[in-house]
Structure 1
Protein backbone atom coordinates (compact mmCIF):
# COMPACT_ATOMS: atom_id res chain seq x y z
CA UNK A 1 0.00 0.00 0.00
CA UNK A 2 1.19 3.46 -0.67
CA UNK A 3 0.62 6.66 1.19
CA UNK A 4 -0.87 7.95 -2.05
CA UNK A 5 -3.68 5.41 -1.97
CA UNK A 6 -4.22 5.76 1.76
CA UNK A 7 -4.78 9.50 1.26
CA UNK A 8 -7.09 8.92 -1.69
CA UNK A 9 -9.07 6.43 0.40
CA UNK A 10 -9.44 8.90 3.25
CA UNK A 11 -10.44 11.72 0.93
CA UNK A 12 -12.95 9.39 -0.70
CA UNK A 13 -14.78 9.52 2.64
CA UNK A 14 -15.02 13.30 2.34
CA UNK A 15 -12.97 16.50 2.01
CA UNK A 16 -10.42 17.12 4.73
CA UNK A 17 -7.47 19.28 5.70
CA UNK A 18 -3.91 18.00 5.81
CA UNK A 19 -3.96 18.43 9.58
CA UNK A 20 -7.13 16.35 9.95
CA UNK A 21 -5.68 13.66 7.67
CA UNK A 22 -2.53 13.56 9.82
CA UNK A 23 -4.71 13.06 12.91
CA UNK A 24 -6.42 10.10 11.22
CA UNK A 25 -3.01 8.48 10.71
CA UNK A 26 -2.39 8.88 14.45
CA UNK A 27 -5.69 7.26 15.38
CA UNK A 28 -7.52 5.18 14.18
CA UNK A 29 -5.17 4.31 11.29
CA UNK A 30 -1.97 3.87 13.29
CA UNK A 31 -2.75 0.15 13.50
CA UNK A 32 -2.83 -0.05 9.70
CA UNK A 33 -0.44 2.47 8.21
CA UNK A 34 2.26 4.73 9.57
CA UNK A 35 2.64 8.18 8.04
CA UNK A 36 4.35 11.30 9.34
CA UNK A 37 3.28 14.89 8.75
CA UNK A 38 6.38 15.59 6.67
CA UNK A 39 5.26 12.82 4.28
CA UNK A 40 1.62 13.88 3.97
CA UNK A 41 1.93 17.38 2.58
CA UNK A 42 4.35 16.57 -0.27
CA UNK A 43 2.14 13.62 -1.24
CA UNK A 44 -0.97 15.81 -1.19
CA UNK A 45 0.88 18.26 -3.46
CA UNK A 46 1.76 15.42 -5.88
CA UNK A 47 -1.83 14.17 -5.84
CA UNK A 48 -3.00 17.69 -6.63
CA UNK A 49 -0.46 18.09 -9.45
CA UNK A 50 -1.60 14.74 -10.88
CA UNK A 51 -5.25 15.84 -10.78
CA UNK A 52 -6.26 13.22 -8.21
CA UNK A 53 -7.21 15.74 -5.53
CA UNK A 54 -8.16 19.38 -5.60
CA UNK A 55 -8.03 22.15 -3.08
CA UNK A 56 -11.64 23.12 -2.48
CA UNK A 57 -11.02 25.71 0.21
CA UNK A 58 -8.10 27.78 1.43
CA UNK A 59 -8.33 29.25 4.88
CA UNK A 60 -6.23 31.46 7.05
CA UNK A 61 -2.67 30.47 7.95
CA UNK A 62 -2.37 28.26 4.87
CA UNK A 63 -5.06 25.78 5.83
CA UNK A 64 -6.24 23.87 2.77
CA UNK A 65 -9.19 21.54 2.40
CA UNK A 66 -8.56 18.75 -0.09
CA UNK A 67 -11.17 16.70 -1.96
CA UNK A 68 -10.76 13.68 -4.20
CA UNK A 69 -11.50 14.21 -7.90
CA UNK A 70 -13.12 11.82 -10.37
CA UNK A 71 -9.60 10.95 -11.60
CA UNK A 72 -8.58 10.28 -8.00
CA UNK A 73 -11.53 7.93 -7.50
CA UNK A 74 -10.65 6.14 -10.74
CA UNK A 75 -7.04 5.75 -9.57
CA UNK A 76 -8.17 4.42 -6.19
CA UNK A 77 -10.55 1.93 -7.81
CA UNK A 78 -7.84 0.85 -10.27
CA UNK A 79 -5.42 0.25 -7.39
CA UNK A 80 -8.01 -1.73 -5.41
CA UNK A 81 -9.26 -3.86 -8.33
CA UNK A 82 -6.45 -4.19 -10.86
CA UNK A 83 -3.15 -3.87 -9.00
CA UNK A 84 -1.88 -6.99 -7.28
CA UNK A 85 -0.73 -6.04 -3.78
CA UNK A 86 2.86 -6.59 -2.73
CA UNK A 87 2.54 -9.57 -0.43
CA UNK A 88 6.18 -9.49 0.59
CA UNK A 89 6.38 -9.36 4.35
CA UNK A 90 8.92 -6.65 5.14
CA UNK A 91 8.96 -6.10 8.83
CA UNK A 92 11.48 -5.27 11.48
CA UNK A 93 9.68 -7.80 13.68
CA UNK A 94 10.20 -10.57 11.11
CA UNK A 95 13.86 -9.68 10.65
CA UNK A 96 14.40 -9.72 14.41
CA UNK A 97 12.67 -13.10 14.61
CA UNK A 98 14.97 -14.49 11.96
CA UNK A 99 18.07 -13.22 13.78
CA UNK A 100 16.89 -13.95 17.32
CA UNK A 101 18.37 -17.39 17.81
CA UNK A 102 21.55 -16.78 15.81
CA UNK A 103 22.79 -13.60 17.51
CA UNK A 104 21.52 -13.81 21.09
CA UNK A 105 22.18 -16.30 23.84
CA UNK A 106 19.28 -18.43 24.97
CA UNK A 107 18.73 -16.21 28.03
CA UNK A 108 18.85 -13.01 25.97
CA UNK A 109 16.46 -14.42 23.37
CA UNK A 110 14.01 -15.49 26.06
CA UNK A 111 14.20 -12.03 27.62
CA UNK A 112 13.42 -10.38 24.27
CA UNK A 113 10.55 -12.78 23.62
CA UNK A 114 9.11 -12.24 27.11
CA UNK A 115 9.14 -8.49 26.45
CA UNK A 116 7.48 -9.01 23.06
CA UNK A 117 4.85 -11.33 24.52
CA UNK A 118 3.94 -8.75 27.15
CA UNK A 119 3.71 -6.01 24.51
CA UNK A 120 1.50 -8.19 22.30
CA UNK A 121 -0.80 -8.98 25.23
CA UNK A 122 -1.11 -5.27 26.03
CA UNK A 123 -1.78 -4.51 22.38
CA UNK A 124 -4.51 -7.17 22.38
CA UNK A 125 -6.19 -5.43 25.32
CA UNK A 126 -6.06 -2.11 23.48
CA UNK A 127 -7.39 -3.63 20.27
CA UNK A 128 -10.27 -5.31 22.09
CA UNK A 129 -11.18 -2.03 23.79
CA UNK A 130 -11.12 -0.19 20.45
CA UNK A 131 -13.19 -2.94 18.84
CA UNK A 132 -15.84 -2.67 21.56
CA UNK A 133 -16.08 1.10 21.04
CA UNK A 134 -16.16 0.72 17.28
CA UNK A 135 -18.84 -1.98 17.37
CA UNK A 136 -21.14 0.43 19.17
CA UNK A 137 -20.91 3.10 16.45
CA UNK A 138 -19.93 1.34 13.24
CA UNK A 139 -21.42 -1.58 11.29
CA UNK A 140 -19.56 -4.93 11.33
CA UNK A 141 -18.78 -4.57 7.61
CA UNK A 142 -17.43 -1.02 8.05
CA UNK A 143 -13.78 -0.26 7.32
CA UNK A 144 -12.85 0.38 10.93
CA UNK A 145 -14.28 -2.91 12.21
CA UNK A 146 -12.81 -4.94 9.36
CA UNK A 147 -9.36 -3.43 9.81
CA UNK A 148 -9.49 -3.84 13.59
CA UNK A 149 -10.44 -7.49 13.14
CA UNK A 150 -7.42 -8.00 10.88
CA UNK A 151 -5.17 -6.21 13.39
CA UNK A 152 -6.42 -8.44 16.19
CA UNK A 153 -5.92 -11.60 14.14
CA UNK A 154 -2.38 -10.58 13.17
CA UNK A 155 -1.62 -9.73 16.78
CA UNK A 156 -2.91 -13.14 17.89
CA UNK A 157 -0.73 -14.86 15.29
CA UNK A 158 2.33 -12.92 16.45
CA UNK A 159 1.53 -13.69 20.08
CA UNK A 160 1.13 -17.40 19.34
CA UNK A 161 4.38 -17.46 17.38
CA UNK A 162 6.24 -15.61 20.17
CA UNK A 163 4.99 -18.03 22.80
CA UNK A 164 5.95 -21.02 20.64
CA UNK A 165 9.38 -19.55 19.84
CA UNK A 166 9.99 -18.98 23.56
CA UNK A 167 9.04 -22.58 24.29
CA UNK A 168 11.41 -23.90 21.62
CA UNK A 169 14.30 -21.67 22.63
CA UNK A 170 13.80 -22.57 26.30
CA UNK A 171 14.21 -26.24 25.33
CA UNK A 172 17.42 -25.69 23.37
CA UNK A 173 20.68 -26.61 25.06
Structure 2
Protein backbone atom coordinates (compact mmCIF):
# COMPACT_ATOMS: atom_id res chain seq x y z
CA UNK A 1 0.00 0.00 0.00
CA UNK A 2 1.60 3.34 -1.03
CA UNK A 3 2.47 5.70 1.81
CA UNK A 4 2.11 3.02 4.49
CA UNK A 5 4.63 3.15 7.30
CA UNK A 6 6.55 -0.11 7.57
CA UNK A 7 6.23 -1.81 10.96
CA UNK A 8 9.17 -1.45 13.32
CA UNK A 9 11.41 -4.49 13.24
CA UNK A 10 11.04 -6.89 16.15
CA UNK A 11 14.00 -6.93 18.50
CA UNK A 12 15.84 -10.18 18.96
CA UNK A 13 15.27 -11.76 22.35
CA UNK A 14 18.77 -10.80 23.56
CA UNK A 15 18.36 -7.21 22.38
CA UNK A 16 14.96 -6.99 24.09
CA UNK A 17 16.48 -8.41 27.28
CA UNK A 18 19.37 -5.90 27.10
CA UNK A 19 16.91 -3.04 26.70
CA UNK A 20 14.92 -4.14 29.72
CA UNK A 21 18.08 -4.59 31.80
CA UNK A 22 19.24 -1.10 30.83
CA UNK A 23 15.83 0.39 31.66
CA UNK A 24 15.76 -1.35 35.03
CA UNK A 25 19.31 -0.26 35.88
CA UNK A 26 18.57 3.33 34.80
CA UNK A 27 15.39 3.51 36.88
CA UNK A 28 17.28 2.32 39.96
CA UNK A 29 20.20 4.67 39.40
CA UNK A 30 18.17 7.76 38.48
CA UNK A 31 15.72 7.32 41.36
CA UNK A 32 18.47 7.09 43.91
CA UNK A 33 20.96 9.62 42.58
CA UNK A 34 19.42 11.81 39.89
CA UNK A 35 19.61 11.92 36.11
CA UNK A 36 23.36 12.66 35.91
CA UNK A 37 24.49 9.20 37.03
CA UNK A 38 27.34 8.20 34.69
CA UNK A 39 26.13 5.98 31.86
CA UNK A 40 29.07 3.68 32.55
CA UNK A 41 27.50 2.88 35.92
CA UNK A 42 24.10 2.21 34.35
CA UNK A 43 25.74 -0.04 31.76
CA UNK A 44 27.69 -1.93 34.41
CA UNK A 45 24.54 -2.46 36.52
CA UNK A 46 22.72 -3.69 33.41
CA UNK A 47 25.57 -6.02 32.43
CA UNK A 48 26.05 -4.34 29.04
CA UNK A 49 28.50 -1.94 27.44
CA UNK A 50 27.95 1.82 27.32
CA UNK A 51 27.77 1.45 23.53
CA UNK A 52 24.69 -0.75 23.95
CA UNK A 53 22.93 2.13 25.72
CA UNK A 54 23.70 4.37 22.75
CA UNK A 55 22.61 1.70 20.28
CA UNK A 56 19.31 1.06 22.07
CA UNK A 57 18.45 4.55 23.37
CA UNK A 58 20.62 7.01 21.45
CA UNK A 59 22.38 8.27 24.58
CA UNK A 60 21.50 9.88 27.90
CA UNK A 61 18.49 11.93 26.73
CA UNK A 62 16.90 8.93 25.00
CA UNK A 63 17.46 6.77 28.07
CA UNK A 64 16.02 9.42 30.40
CA UNK A 65 12.97 9.80 28.18
CA UNK A 66 12.51 6.03 28.12
CA UNK A 67 12.29 5.81 31.93
CA UNK A 68 11.24 9.26 33.21
CA UNK A 69 7.62 8.19 33.52
CA UNK A 70 8.53 5.52 36.06
CA UNK A 71 11.16 7.67 37.77
CA UNK A 72 9.27 10.96 38.19
CA UNK A 73 6.25 11.65 35.99
CA UNK A 74 3.77 9.14 37.41
CA UNK A 75 4.41 10.29 40.95
CA UNK A 76 4.31 14.00 40.07
CA UNK A 77 1.00 13.68 38.23
CA UNK A 78 -0.42 11.63 41.12
CA UNK A 79 0.48 14.53 43.46
CA UNK A 80 -1.22 17.02 41.13
CA UNK A 81 -4.32 14.84 40.72
CA UNK A 82 -4.60 14.25 44.46
CA UNK A 83 -4.29 17.98 45.18
CA UNK A 84 -6.96 18.81 42.59
CA UNK A 85 -9.31 16.31 44.23
CA UNK A 86 -9.23 18.12 47.61
CA UNK A 87 -12.25 20.41 48.01
CA UNK A 88 -10.80 23.01 50.37
CA UNK A 89 -8.37 25.33 48.56
CA UNK A 90 -6.21 25.79 51.66
CA UNK A 91 -5.89 22.06 52.25
CA UNK A 92 -5.28 21.61 48.51
CA UNK A 93 -2.29 23.98 48.37
CA UNK A 94 -0.92 22.63 51.66
CA UNK A 95 -1.10 19.05 50.40
CA UNK A 96 0.42 20.04 47.06
CA UNK A 97 3.38 21.95 48.46
CA UNK A 98 4.08 19.34 51.13
CA UNK A 99 3.93 16.53 48.57
CA UNK A 100 6.13 18.40 46.08
CA UNK A 101 8.76 19.04 48.76
CA UNK A 102 8.57 15.38 49.78
CA UNK A 103 9.11 14.33 46.16
CA UNK A 104 12.06 16.70 45.92
CA UNK A 105 13.61 15.18 49.02
CA UNK A 106 13.10 11.55 47.98
CA UNK A 107 13.74 11.77 44.23
CA UNK A 108 16.89 13.61 43.13
CA UNK A 109 15.77 13.10 39.52
CA UNK A 110 12.76 15.33 40.20
CA UNK A 111 15.12 18.18 41.05
CA UNK A 112 16.98 17.59 37.77
CA UNK A 113 13.67 17.93 35.94
CA UNK A 114 12.70 21.09 37.86
CA UNK A 115 16.10 22.65 37.19
CA UNK A 116 15.80 21.73 33.50
CA UNK A 117 19.18 20.05 33.63
CA UNK A 118 18.44 18.50 30.21
CA UNK A 119 16.68 21.26 28.22
CA UNK A 120 17.10 19.31 24.96
CA UNK A 121 14.49 16.81 26.12
CA UNK A 122 11.01 17.80 24.94
CA UNK A 123 9.53 15.31 27.37
CA UNK A 124 11.25 16.90 30.40
CA UNK A 125 10.26 20.37 29.22
CA UNK A 126 6.66 19.18 28.97
CA UNK A 127 6.76 17.85 32.54
CA UNK A 128 7.93 21.31 33.71
CA UNK A 129 5.16 22.99 31.71
CA UNK A 130 2.50 20.75 33.27
CA UNK A 131 3.92 21.42 36.74
CA UNK A 132 3.91 25.18 36.15
CA UNK A 133 0.30 25.00 34.99
CA UNK A 134 -0.67 23.16 38.20
CA UNK A 135 1.24 25.72 40.31
CA UNK A 136 -0.67 28.59 38.70
CA UNK A 137 -4.03 26.87 39.07
CA UNK A 138 -3.56 25.87 42.71
CA UNK A 139 -2.07 29.20 43.82
CA UNK A 140 -4.86 31.16 42.08
CA UNK A 141 -7.56 29.10 43.82
CA UNK A 142 -5.83 29.37 47.21
CA UNK A 143 -5.41 33.15 46.87
CA UNK A 144 -9.03 33.60 45.84
CA UNK A 145 -10.18 31.63 48.88
CA UNK A 146 -7.93 33.62 51.22
CA UNK A 147 -5.86 30.53 52.09
CA UNK A 148 -2.69 32.24 50.84
CA UNK A 149 -1.36 35.72 51.46
CA UNK A 150 -2.80 37.97 48.72
CA UNK A 151 0.67 38.98 47.48
CA UNK A 152 1.89 35.37 47.14
CA UNK A 153 2.03 34.39 43.45
CA UNK A 154 2.61 31.30 41.33
CA UNK A 155 6.02 32.81 40.52
CA UNK A 156 6.79 32.87 44.24
CA UNK A 157 5.88 29.19 44.53
CA UNK A 158 7.99 28.39 41.47
CA UNK A 159 10.96 30.25 43.00
CA UNK A 160 10.59 28.44 46.34
CA UNK A 161 10.46 25.02 44.67
CA UNK A 162 13.34 25.93 42.33
CA UNK A 163 15.49 27.21 45.19
CA UNK A 164 14.77 24.04 47.15
CA UNK A 165 15.84 21.97 44.15
CA UNK A 166 19.13 23.87 43.97
CA UNK A 167 19.74 23.46 47.70
CA UNK A 168 19.04 19.72 47.58
CA UNK A 169 21.13 19.18 44.46
CA UNK A 170 24.15 21.26 45.42
CA UNK A 171 24.00 21.66 49.19
CA UNK A 172 24.34 19.40 52.18
CA UNK A 173 21.29 17.17 52.50
CA UNK A 174 19.37 18.04 55.69
CA UNK A 175 18.01 15.47 58.09
CA UNK A 176 14.44 14.57 57.21
CA UNK A 177 13.09 15.98 60.51
CA UNK A 178 14.74 19.33 59.83
CA UNK A 179 13.49 19.35 56.25
CA UNK A 180 9.90 18.65 57.30
CA UNK A 181 10.07 21.32 60.01
CA UNK A 182 11.17 23.83 57.38
CA UNK A 183 8.24 22.80 55.19
CA UNK A 184 5.96 23.71 58.10
CA UNK A 185 7.70 27.10 58.45
CA UNK A 186 7.27 27.69 54.74
CA UNK A 187 3.56 26.89 54.87
CA UNK A 188 3.09 29.11 57.91
CA UNK A 189 4.77 31.97 56.07
CA UNK A 190 2.57 31.88 52.96
CA UNK A 191 -0.82 31.22 54.59
CA UNK A 192 -3.44 33.95 54.47
CA UNK A 193 -3.92 35.95 57.62
TM-score, length basis structure 1: 0.35
TM-score, length basis structure 2: 0.32
Bigger share in strand: 1
